[in-house]
Amino acid sequence: MKIEKIDHICFAVKDLEETKRVYREDFGLVPACEYTADSEKIKVSRYYIGEVAVEFMESTAPDGEVAKFIDKRGEGVFLISYKVDDLTKAMDELREKKVDLIDKKPRELFGTRYAFVHHPNKLHGVLTELLEGDFDINK
């Protein structure tokens, strides 16, 4: 598996509009794009800081993973996403190393394939995502 770069870091927030206001007023940042992913039960604002994206996500449902995370831990770092050269190969390699994956097969959103690693203790409580492809909300 070849990790090419950090693609994005996600923060779970209770109030996306308030978060956007703070980042706009205090740092002069405006989202590069915004989207809702019904399959993940999230509403997201994505910012680019250099090549790395920072996403703030609010749950759209009380049973969503972001809502459960906030209930358990409060707002904060939710996940880190690493771009890999070949997601299927990366998943197979991790399985061979006895690393548990949340996903048995890749998910897809906006032309990007991704999968989550289930290794919370070894990864210090941060959800880890591997993805392949380039994020494009227009796909």
Could you tell me the pLDDT band of residue 139, with boundaries at 50, 70 and 90?
Answer: low
Spatial separation of the C-alpha atoms in residues 96 and 20, rounded to whole Å: 41
Compute the Cα dihedral for 61, 63, 64, 69 and give only its sign: positive
Spatial separation of the C-alpha atoms in residues 1 and 109, rounded to whole Å: 22
Q: 86 forms bridges with which residues in the sheet?
A: none
Q: Using one digit for the tens of pLDDT, what is the confidence trace for 24-75?
A: 999 999 999 999 999 999 999 999 999 999 999 999 999 999 999 999 999 9
Q: Give me 48's structure tokens.
A: 């680019």
* Mean confidence (pLDDT) of the chain: 93
Q: Using one digit for the tens of pLDDT, what is the confidence trace for 107-127?
A: 998 889 999 998 767 888 889
How many domains does the chain divide into?
1
| Residue 137 domain-assigned (yes or no) | no
Q: Using one digit for the tens of pLDDT, what is the confidence trace for 6-28?
A: 999 999 999 999 999 999 999 99
| Residue 99 domain-assigned (yes or no) | yes
pTM metric for this prediction: 0.90
- The vertex-82 CA angle with 102 and 67, nearest 5°, equals 50
Q: Which CATH number does the domain housing residue 109 bear?
A: 3.10.180.10
Domain range for 68 is 3-132
| Residue 108 domain-assigned (yes or no) | yes
| Residue 123 domain-assigned (yes or no) | yes
